[in-house]
């Protein structure tokens, strides 16, 4: 945990070093004035927090001031920000649902306060797990039930009683609180990320639990060679099928998987196992729900959001935050601090960053790569300042934190420090890579794949701005699309995945391509790697949450672990290759090495060769041609041995490669490299070699 700051110890803003950015990319020079303007706005925002918000430390712990907080003497202080309200009341089981007996007192700047003294016996006046509501008297005089925006635990009602989530006051006795036993994990040099969803992480036809994930899934992830988990859909969302992206309670750990204490146990167990834990955080928008969301909290359409059209995302049918509002900044920055502090998460994957960055929300906007797209009037400065502040504060308070941007636009400086006038993320998702693989699998026969274009897509990223490479994520797994395995093999996955079944050209091709697509993405595509839960073994079928359109079925909202655990099924081959690939990266560390140097990409042969972290990666995508003595250029002379072959029988290959044969370099160079060797590379095969 990083150092703490207060108004007595103000966070010092570094002198910007924007020249570093301009030296690295001289094409940004014409935009220097705009970059410096953004930094000045960011500096003003931080100074405003220091001057008017009590300092960074206090400001980012708004959850200790707002919401419903038990004091040391067991009295309870309730505070809300509702500038448009005429009056606030607290009601619930504690007062027999009397809507008028407990009015809040109005404070300055739209804040409201209610103090409930402790009971005569010294106990808290509101029982643990009892239900509460905030009653808001609107400007028009109506009284509306709301949930506190700062609620930390909300639950789904019984099906017979409607769909509006309920706020349950979470204050368990000390004996029932989960106490963390393990320290946070040191930030890995190479992030090998397992993107996961607690609810679908069960084979059973139901919502999976935190406890199931802790006891049964975390050990699988570690065994598979991943060192980081990215957990989706934790922030409470009333609609399960939204995949967690329509958040209703930003401080609530989703109750559909269990209690807050069980989530704490899950994170703590992950740390015990050496896993770095990222939270999928949604600060780009919020659910339009009124009764159990933030929308219309104070009776107006503003409060936390922009009013009018600017406050609505037309494609997502959700509300958009007003990032310039001081109390909204406190709410969102405190939300990040809440997950880092209370649940011990190690960092965040920020969802929907493209929507935040541009007034168009990215809708219908094609990003050509011209810098005018990124530094013109179409950019939402208020959101940029919030992003800079969020990244800056997180990294200052927690030096080991990692933040990842989901941004398709390619904003320059996304993954450079705020001190350089940039956004301050550690990584961005390389979203063009999975799009390219799906495009090829859907539209192009693999004997016509454009090898140079594949290499360009995998290596096209800004220098010194780390990317998370992935062949497929949850986006490709959702109903309406297909996973890579399904695109490759769906015609015969139900009939020919048994090791006892007849040979199948479709299955053989699918297994071969699945492995080499993922390996070349892992090796060449970025500085971190991501896999979505189940895709490591070629999970069949898509992902579809229970909803009206599928008769509320859980059939597709689960992971069929029995498929990979069954020794008679071929899923085990893909799983074994995925694990070997990760363990090899752990040994050689190519993800945190310099980007791969591609010495060879041959369109007719369908062969790619590159070097990274002292390893030589060779891929033959050709569906029919094997090459007995193929020349491969290398920078260093010596004896090379194969440390990974996708054609091994343990990975479902044909065992055509003898790994005992060493490859000694010749003084004859090849493809611009000083030395070379000749190697046998069968069709649809990849090999990785290391110097002996």
pLDDT in tens, 451-499: 999 999 999 999 999 999 999 988 887 877 789 999 999 989 999 999 9
Block residue for tokens 């029932």: 176
Please, what is the angle between helix 505-524 and helix 571-588, to 10°? 20
C-alpha distances (whole Å) from 245 to each of 236, 250, 534, 563, 690 are 9, 11, 21, 29, 43
Radius of gyration of the chain (CA): 27
Reported in sequence order, the residue ranges of 49-137 that DSSP labels E, i.e. its strands, are 67-70, 76-81, 87-92, 105-106, 111-116, 131-137
Q: What is residue 481's predicted lDDT score, i.e. its pLDDT?
A: 79
Write the CB contacts of 582 (distance below 8 Å, at least 6 apart in sequence).
Answer: 192, 224, 225, 226
The question of whether 604 is a catalytic residue gets the answer no
Residue 283 CA, distance from chain mean position? 12
**What sign has the CA pseudo-torsion 248, 254, 256, 260?**
negative
Residues 582-633 have pLDDT tens digits of 999 999 999 999 999 999 999 999 999 999 999 999 999 999 999 999 999 9
Per-residue confidence (pLDDT) for residue 491, from 0 to 100: 85
**Weakly modelled stretches of the chain, pLDDT under 50:** 1-8
Q: What is the pLDDT of residue 367?
A: 86
Where is 665: in which H helix or E strand?
none
Global pTM exceeds 0.95? yes
Structure token digits, residue 453 = 């274009």
Per-residue model confidence (pLDDT) at position 104:
98
Determine the pLDDT at residue 482: 87
pLDDT at position 6, please? 40
Query: In this structure, are residues 112 and 83 in contact, taking their beta carbons and an 8 Å threshold?
Result: no
**What pLDDT is stored for residue 162 in this prediction?**
86
Q: Distance between CA atoms of 336 and 476, rounded to whole angstroms?
A: 28
CA triple 422-594-26, angle to 5 deg: 40
Read off the tokens for 502. Answer: 């007849």
The tokens 């339009």 sit on which residue? 288
The helix-helix angle for 32-52 and 326-342 (nearest 10°) equals 80
All structural domains of the chain: 62-175 (2.60.40.10), 191-591 (3.20.20.80), 597-691 (2.60.40.1180)
Question: Active-site residue 298, yes or no?
Answer: no
User: Cα separation of 249 and 239, whole Å?
Assistant: 12
Tell me which of 80, 406, 541, 585 is the catalytic residue: 406
Residue from 25, 156, 327, 351 carrying the catalytic annotation: 351
Say what the pLDDT of residue 8 is.
38
Q: Which residues contact 689 (CB under 8 A, 6 or more apart)?
A: 615, 616, 618, 640, 641, 642, 643, 663, 679
């Amino acid at each position: 945990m990083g150092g703490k700051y207060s108004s007595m110890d103000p966070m010092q803003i570094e002198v910007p070093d924007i020249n570093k950015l301009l030296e690295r990319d001289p094409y940004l020079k014409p935009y220097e004035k705009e970059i410096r303007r953004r930094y000045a706005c960011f500096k003003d925002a931080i100074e405003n927090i220091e001057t008017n918000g009590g300092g960074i430390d206090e400001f980012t712990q708004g959850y200790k001031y707002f919401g419903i907080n038990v004091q040391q003497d067991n009295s309870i202080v309730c505070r809300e920000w509702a500038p448009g309200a005429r009056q606030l009341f607290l009601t619930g089981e504690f007062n027999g649902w009397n809507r008028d007996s407990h009015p809040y007192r109005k404070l300055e700047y739209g804040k409201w306060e209610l103090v409930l003294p402790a009971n005569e016996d010294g106990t808290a006046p509101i029982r643990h797990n009892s239900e509460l509501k905030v009653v808001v008297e609107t400007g028009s005089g109506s009284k509306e039930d709301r949930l506190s925006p700062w609620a930390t635990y909300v639950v789904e009602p019984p099906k017979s009683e409607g769909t509006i989530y309920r706020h349950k006051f979470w204050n368990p006795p000390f004996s029932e609180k989960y106490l963390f036993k393990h320290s946070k994990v040191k930030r890995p040099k190479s992030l090998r990320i397992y993107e996961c969803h607690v609810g679908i992480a069960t084979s059973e036809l139901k919502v999976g639990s935190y406890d199931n994930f802790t006891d049964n899934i975390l050990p699988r992830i570690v065994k598979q060679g991943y060192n980081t988990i990215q957990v989706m859909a934790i922030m409470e969302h009333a609609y399960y099928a939204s995949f967690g992206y329509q958040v209703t309670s930003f401080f609530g750990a989703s109750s559909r998987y269990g209690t807050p204490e069980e989530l704490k146990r899950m994170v703590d167990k992950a740390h015990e196992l050496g896993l770095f834990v990222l939270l999928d955080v949604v600060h780009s928008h919020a659910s339009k729900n009124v009764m159990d969301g933030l929308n219309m909290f104070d009776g107006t359409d503003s409060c936390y959001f922009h009013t009018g059209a600017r406050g609505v995302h037309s494609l997502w049918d959700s509300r958009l935050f007003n990032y310039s509002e001081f109390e909204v900044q406190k709410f969102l920055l405190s939300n990040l601090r809440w997950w880092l502090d209370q649940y011990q998460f190690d960092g965040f994957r920020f969802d929907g960053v493209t929507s935040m960055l541009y007034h168009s929300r990215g809708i219908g906007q094609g990003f050509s790569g011209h810098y005018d797209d990124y530094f013109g009037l179409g950019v939402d400065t208020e959101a940029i300042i919030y992003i800079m502040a969020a990244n800056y504060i997180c990294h200052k308070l927690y030096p080991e934190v990692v933040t990842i941007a989901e941004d398709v636009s390619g904003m320059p400086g996304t993954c450079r420090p705020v001190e350089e006038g940039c956004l301050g993320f550690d990584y961005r998702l390389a979203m063009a890579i999975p799009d390219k693989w799906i495009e090829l699998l859907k539209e192009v026969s693999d004997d016509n794949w454009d090898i140079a274009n594949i290499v360009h897509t995998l290596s096209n990223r800004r220098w010194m701005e780390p990317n998370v490479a992935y062949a497929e994520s949850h986006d490709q797994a959702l109903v309406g699309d297909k996973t890579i395995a399904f695109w490759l093999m769906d015609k015969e996955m139900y009939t020919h995945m048994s090791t006892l079944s007849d040979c199948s050209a479709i299955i053989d091709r699918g297994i071969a391509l699945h492995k080499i697509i993922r390996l070349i993405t892992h090796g060449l595509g970025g500085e971190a790697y991501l896999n979505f839960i189940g895709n490591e073994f070629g999970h069949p079928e898509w992902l579809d949450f229970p909803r009206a359109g599928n008769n509320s079925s859980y059939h597709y909202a689960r992971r069929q672990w029995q498929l990979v655990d069954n020794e008679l099924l071929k899923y085990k081959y893909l799983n074994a290759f995925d694990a070997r690939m990760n363990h090899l990266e752990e040994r050689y560390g190519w993800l945190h090495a310099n980007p791969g140097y591609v010495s060879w990409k041959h369109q007719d042969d369908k062969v790619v060769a590159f070097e990274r972290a002292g390893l030589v990666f060779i891929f033959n995508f050709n569906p029919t041609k094997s090459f007995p003595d193929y020349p491969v250029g290398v920078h260093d002379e010596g004896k090379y041995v194969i440390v990974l072959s996708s054609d091994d029988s343990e990975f479902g290959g044909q065992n055509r490669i003898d790994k005992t044969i060493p490859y000694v370099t010749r003084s004859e160079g090849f493809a611009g490299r000083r030395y070379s060797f000749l190697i046998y590379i069968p069709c649809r095969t990849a090999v990785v070699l290391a110097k002996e």
